[in-house]
Structure formats: C-alpha cells, structure tokens
Amino acid sequence: MEHLYAPWRMEYIGGTPEPGCLFCRAREADAGQDRHNLLVWRGPDAIVMLNKFPYNSGHVMVAPRAHVGSLEDLDDHDALALHQAVARALGVLRTELGPEGFNVGVNLGRVAGAGIPDHVHVHVVPRWNGDTNFMPVLAETKVVNEHLERTWEKLSAAFSGAT
C-alpha cells in the first residue's frame, strides 16, 4: 500500500527521456505541441500538465515558471503564482471530475521520489472512494494513452474556459 502513502511518487519511469527539462520544454513549446506534452494550462508564471504515468484519473503536475529545485528557491512572486495555479487546478478538477478528495504533494530530491528533481512541481491527485484499482485497470499502455487523450481534451478545454 506504499502508493497510497505517496501516490505521486510514480513519475516518469521507463521510456527514453527527451533532453532538457520537461517543464521548461513544455512551457516554451508551441501551443500545437500541448497535446503531445500533455500541457493543459499555460499561465504567465506557472503551467499545469497531466502526468504521463497517472496514479489516478486527472493526476496533474503544477510547475512554476522558475527552473529551481525546491520551494525555498522560489521568490514570493513565483511562490504565489505556484499556489494560485494549484488552486486553479483543484477548482477545475473538482468541477470536471467530481473527486471526493485530493492528494496534493511535492517530492524534493530523487530519494524522496522526484522524477524531475531540478524543477520543483506539485502533484495534484484526485481521489474517489474505492479508486485503488485504477493502476491495475490502466496497466495496458494503449488504455492509458486513450485515457490521457480524453482527459487532456476535457481539462485543457476546462482550463481555458476558467480564465
């Protein structure tokens, strides 16, 4: 049951990583790449992306514009922007997916489970009663990809409508 204790620990395992920082690359990319990058919202000082290996439906990562490794490295402006983006994500997910709760958490350092330790990011994981079977159900890559596509369409539309 370790995954229940820290559901956001399962990030970016396997596959060939693209060069550079995932969050900086997604933020700077052309909007046409947003679907590929699973980017659902691009604000001036923060972004929201779907996790490619979601613990649960609607699992997003919120990253500040600043490429820094830890929360204490953010200045007040970027810290506020990150918090506001997390709040925005909670609001959109609550409206669109109707979860009964959330896990919100930050992994600092690889030893703590951070897959991208150089760019601090907040995991927001919607939770429902009896949702612990999600990963086994979505174990097949094809199913995960189809699920991510649908979730991306739903959430990117919702985020842009929530401006």
121 is catalytic: yes
What is the three-class DSSP state of 16? coil
Residue type, 36: H
Residue 26, both tokens: 């997604």
Q: How far is the CB of 39 from Zn ion (least distance, A)?
A: 13
42 is a site residue for Zn ion (CB under 5 A)? no
Q: Is 119 in the site for Zn ion (CB under 5 A)?
A: yes
**Cβ atoms 90, 48 nearer than 8 A:** no
**CB-wise, 6 or 21, nearer to Zn ion?**
21
Q: Does 6 bind Zn ion (CB under 5 A)?
A: no
Region near Zn ion per CB under 5 A, out of 7-15, 117-125, 132-140, 153-161: 117-125
Query: Count residues contacting Zn ion (CB under 5 A)?
Result: 5
Which of 59, 119, 121, 123 does the annotation list as catalytic?
121
Give the angle 86-90-91 at the CA atoms, nearest 5°. Answer: 120
Beta strands 46-50 and 101-105 are unpaired
C-alpha closest to that of 84 among 41, 54, 142 = 41
> Applying CB under 5 A, which of residues 6, 24, 90, 97 lies at the interface with Zn ion?
24
The footprint of Zn ion on residues 48-67 (CB under 5 A) is 67
Tokens found for residue 148: 């991510």
Query: Which stretch, 8-16, 28-36, 114-122, 145-153, contacts Zn ion (CB under 5 A)?
Result: 114-122
As measured in angstroms, the least distance from the Cβ of 107 to Zn ion is: 15
Residue number, nearest CB to Zn ion: 21
Q: Is 147 helix (H, G, I), strand (E, B) or coil?
A: helix
Which conformational region is residue 18 in: left (phi greater than 0), alpha (psi within -120 to 50 degrees), or beta?
beta
> Which residues of the shown chain bind Zn ion in the complex (CB under 5 A)?
21, 23-24, 67, 119
Hey, which residues are catalytic here?
121
